[in-house]
Amino acid sequence: MNLAIFLLALFDGVAYAALVFIVALGLTLIFGVMRILNVAHGSLYAIGAYATVSLTGYVLALGFAPVLAFPLMIVSAVLVGIAIGGPLEYFLLRRIYDKSEVLQLLVTFAVFMILEDVQRLVWGTQPYFDSSALQVLGNVSVFGVTYTAYQLILLPLIAVVLLLGMRFFLRRTVTGKLITATTEDREAAQSIGIDADKVFLFTFVIGAVLAGLGGALASPTTSILPGMGADMIVLSFAVVATAGLGQIEGAALTALMIGLGRSFAVYLYPEISVLVPYLIMVLVLLVRPEGLFGSPAARKI
Amino acid sequence: MKTKIMKRTVSALLASAMPVVAFAADKPDSLKIGMTAFLTGPASVFGVPARDAAEIMIENINAKGGINGVPIEINFIDEGAGAEALTSEYRRMVQSGGAEVMLASISSGNCQTIAPLAEDLQVPNLMWDCGTQRIFEENDYKYVFRTQANATPEMLATVAYLLKTKPDFKTIAVVNQDYAWGRDSWDIFSTALKAMKPDVEVVAEFFPKFGSPDFSTEISRLQALQPDVILSTSWGGDLDTFVQQASQRGLLNTSTFVLPLAESSLERLGAALTDGHIVGARGDHYFLHPERRNDEDFQAFMKQYEEKTGDVSVYPVFHASQAIAALTGAYEKAIADNSVDWPSEDQLLAALEGLTFQGLGRPVTLREDNQGVEDQLIGTSVQTGEYPFATLENIMIFDGDQLTTPVGEISIEWVKTLDAGFVDAISFDQFDN
């Protein structure tokens, strides 16, 4: 394996990792704060992608410049977060925080299945594809291999900005600190006057926006079709579990490991590329059952 | 005691006489049939068009009075619900739903499951879409018929077209979905290629996971390898994503893509599928079929279908038309042959043997092993500007007889015995577009 090939595999891995990280970030944030594994996260990802394709298609058909596709991604992501994430937390999840994990999992899984059917009702079963955003940025050539600037530069850049932004938000802003405090100990936080309900709602909406943003950012590169949410939830769960549930930096590192592992596998031994994320997960969890960055949790009685 | 024995003898005699006199059945109020198709899941890109088409065709038949005055009533089973739900629904439809004939299925795995079940339930089953060549090579069935080709002729036609249009290529890479179809089709394709053009080098074999949302890494590696030809038997969202991503990154300019199922993605791929790539259609299926596009029935149906769905027809629509043509053809033949109002099941099965019928493509004939012999249409993509997506030029329609594995032989063994002369000897018709 020469240097050129090594670098190519590196670029591919980073681009892939960026997208996985963005989705996993929302999932791990929600888990960290609310201790709920939100399976419906996958649906929010898919709906984010569908919404972006529909909105972009509509706006571009009106004759606007393709560059508008970028703000429309953010619009779609926020729409998903507020219109679906908000009511989901407020009307449903709020009722099950003190129930057993199995029930919580079943409820979010039920929501996932309902939303899958909603997608089918609204968008049908034919795949959609709209790469206007990607085409705006054009291509970059490296060692005779053409990459899209969107995947090679923009996606990793957004992932890094989100990682740093999230760290800053949680550690340096008041709202972030409220979230961190509630995560540490809900009862203590409530006793000093933090409105935990509000914090939960806010966190969930942010997490949902991130899922929607992941879908929006993925939409110019891939076919939008039924079932895409299921794949993403499995993969991002692998990332989150390997990293340690609730660990943001860990999720970034794991996404990178999985992305690189997968792309190097495609260069060296393509047959195992599908296995790589799960191999990494198994290996890490064998050694550290609580995840790379997780700390053994003190069980509440 | 004596009378008992007597009674038994008489009833045994009567019973043994029964099959000799095949009684005609009473004319039913309606002919109930069931059809399995993916209405959910990734393969609904095939199932939904087929269902829409079947509904239109049956409405048309019923508007003309049905079969000998009996209207057809069709019910659908969703293959997307899983094999277990499929078999129990199938059983229910036959046993208590009164379905006389079943049309199943899209998935090869489902066909393998349903073939023995249809035998058990003694219900005539028309395999209308699945691709596996194994069905009639590994088993004999009395109730199961396939109204279309299978993977072997589909792949052989593709190899033949490739060798005729691009005889000097040296290297090939494959990117197929990682499941039975992706593996089996490559098995047949590569075996045929090795037999007919042994000097070709396979430079990369990729089997990304079914439903993969991203082929970037595979595309980078293909750009580094620069194979002359890239084969992908993928379909649906996988094929769309692969071709779109490859197109975005210019891979379509440096390699010739060979896409045996791309006819079903032409409209969705839009401008991404550039000129000069080889497109197959799993049979002679194309909404601008060069021999059929001027026919009145063909035009009328295409118009109806486009009005109902907003899309152009894809191959599952043609496959559905063939199964329904076989169904009506068999009933009409059985009614005429036996001069009855309505045929018994045995009369229907007898009519299906060796039946020739015509759906939207060329006529198809059922062989003695119940495998359909279907001609294969392959073409080269071209953006003419007439449609907002690629259409086909330099179309060849290959004769199905020569491409289909002879009765009683195993495809992969038979394909190994072919050589370069096979391509020269094959008969086909050529059309500019």
- CA dist A239 and A234 (Å) reads 9
- CA dist B202 and A136 (Å) reads 35
* pLDDT given at position B23: 62
CB B173 within 8 A of CB B251: no
Q: Which residue of B has its CA nearest to A133?
A: B248
* pLDDT given at position A125: 80
Q: Is B268 on the interface with A (CB under 8 A)?
A: yes
Average pLDDT over residues B295-321: 96
The residues of chain B that CATH labels 3.40.50.2300 are: 31-149+293-366, 152-281+375-431
* pLDDT given at position B57: 97
What residues of A are in contact with residue B44 (Cβ under 8 Å)? 125, 226
* pLDDT given at position A297: 59
Element (H, E) at B31: strand B31-37
Q: CB count, 10 Å around CB of B23? A: 10
Average pLDDT over residues A4-13: 88
- Structure ipTM: 0.86
pTM confidence score: 0.89
Average pLDDT over residues B193-209: 95
Instruction: Determine what percent of chain B is predicted with pLDDT higher than 70.
Output: 94
Within 8 A by CB and 6+ apart from B124, the residues are B100, B101, B102, B118, B143, B145, B345, B348, B349, B352
List C-alpha distances in Å: A245 to A15, A42, A268, A275, B298: 23, 17, 31, 21, 59
Average pLDDT over residues A180-203: 88
* pLDDT given at position A296: 66
- Using DSSP's 3-state secondary structure scheme, residue B157 falls into helix
* pLDDT given at position B4: 57
Nearest chain A CA: its distance from B196 CA (Å): 27
**Is the pLDDT score of A213 beyond 70?**
yes
Q: Is B48 on the interface with A (CB under 8 A)?
A: yes
What residues of A are in contact with residue B224 (Cβ under 8 Å)? 4-5, 8, 143-145
Taking the C-alpha atoms of A116, A119, A125 and A129 in order, what is their torsion angle to the nearest 10 degrees?
-120
Separation of first and last alpha carbons in chain B: 80
* pLDDT given at position B114: 96
Would you place residue B21 in the very low, low, confident or very high pLDDT band (cuts 50, 70, 90)?
A: very low
List B residues 229-258 in contact with A (Cβ-Cβ < 8 A).
236-238, 240-241, 244-245, 248-251
Average pLDDT over residues B65-81: 95
Q: Is A41 on the interface with B (CB under 8 A)?
A: no
- CA dist B233 and B216 (Å) reads 18
Element (H, E) at B77: strand B72-78
Residue A60 amino acid letter:
L
Whether the upstream peptide bond of residue B105 has omega within 30° of 0, thus cis, is yes
Q: Which of B209, B224, B245 sits opposite A274 (nearest CB)?
A: B209
User: Which of B216, B235, B266 to probe by mutation at the A interface, max A CB count within 10 Å?
Assistant: B216
Average pLDDT over residues A202-228: 93
- In the numeric block, which tokens belong to residue B400? 């199905």
- Using DSSP's 3-state secondary structure scheme, residue A195 falls into coil
Q: Which of B45, B48, B221 sits opposite A266 (nearest CB)?
A: B221
- Using DSSP's 3-state secondary structure scheme, residue A119 falls into helix
- CA dist B285 and B379 (Å) reads 11
Element (H, E) at A152: none
Strands B201-206 and B171-175: parallel
Q: What is the pLDDT of residues B262-285, one digit of tens each?
A: 999 999 999 999 999 999 999 999
- CA dist B261 and B432 (Å) reads 20
**Is the pLDDT score of A194 beyond 60?**
yes
User: Which of A117, A223, A260, A266 to probe by mutation at the B interface, max B CB count within 10 Å?
Assistant: A223
- CA dist B286 and B264 (Å) reads 9
Cα-to-chain-centroid distance, residue A219: 13
Element (H, E) at B419: none
Query: In chain A, what are the domain boundaries?
Result: 23-225
- Using DSSP's 3-state secondary structure scheme, residue B2 falls into helix
Q: What is the pLDDT of residues A270-298, one digit of tens each?
A: 888 889 999 999 999 999 988 888 776 55
Q: CB count, 10 Å around CB of B163? A: 21
- CA dist B167 and B158 (Å) reads 13
Subunit contact B45:A125, Cβ cutoff 8 A: yes
**Is the pLDDT score of A201 beyond 80?**
yes
Pick the more confident residue, A299 or B67. Answer: B67
- CA dist B353 and B145 (Å) reads 9
Q: Is A5 on the interface with B (CB under 8 A)?
A: yes
Q: Which residue do the tokens 């060849």 mark?
A: B396
Size of interface A-B (CB pairs under 8 A): 115
Would you place residue B373 in the very low, low, confident or very high pLDDT band (cuts 50, 70, 90)?
A: very high
Average pLDDT over residues B77-88: 93
Which among B329, B377, B332, B327 is positioned nearest to B149, based on CA atoms? B377
**Is the pLDDT score of B14 beyond 70?**
no
* pLDDT given at position A273: 86
- CA dist A127 and A184 (Å) reads 43
Q: Which of A147, A227, A263 sits opposite B249 (nearest CB)?
A: A147
User: Which of B40, B78, B206, B214 to probe by mutation at the A interface, max A CB count within 10 Å?
Assistant: B214
Subunit contact B268:A221, Cβ cutoff 8 A: no
Nearest chain A CA: its distance from B268 CA (Å): 8
- CA dist B187 and B173 (Å) reads 13
**In this structure, what are the phi and psi dihedrals at residue B6, rounded to the nearest 5 degrees?**
-60, -50
DSSP string, A44-94: HHHHHHHHHHHHHHHHHHTT--GGGHHHHHHHHHHHIIIIIIHHIIIIIGG
Q: What is the pLDDT of residues B323-345, one digit of tens each?
A: 999 999 999 999 999 999 999 99
CATH fold of B152-281+375-431: Rossmann fold (3.40.50)
Q: What is the pLDDT of residues A58-75, one digit of tens each?
A: 999 999 999 999 999 999
Nearest chain A CA: its distance from B299 CA (Å): 24
* pLDDT given at position A187: 85
**Is the pLDDT score of B404 beyond 90?**
yes
List C-alpha distances in Å: A273 to A91, A276, A277, B215, B310: 41, 5, 8, 12, 38
Within 8 A by CB and 6+ apart from A144, the residues are B223, B224
The order of strands in the sheet holding B372-373 is B356-357, B364-366, B372-373
**B76 pairs with which residues across the strands?**
B35
Q: Is A17 on the interface with B (CB under 8 A)?
A: no
The CATH number of domain B31-149+293-366 is 3.40.50.2300: yes
List C-alpha distances in Å: B433 to A66, B284, B377, B384, B430: 34, 13, 11, 11, 9
CB A182 within 8 A of CB A54: no
**Is the pLDDT score of A183 beyond 70?**
yes
Q: Is B164 on the interface with A (CB under 8 A)?
A: no
Average pLDDT over residues B296-312: 96
Strands B391-398 and B376-382: antiparallel
Q: Which residue of B has its CA nearest to A132?
A: B248
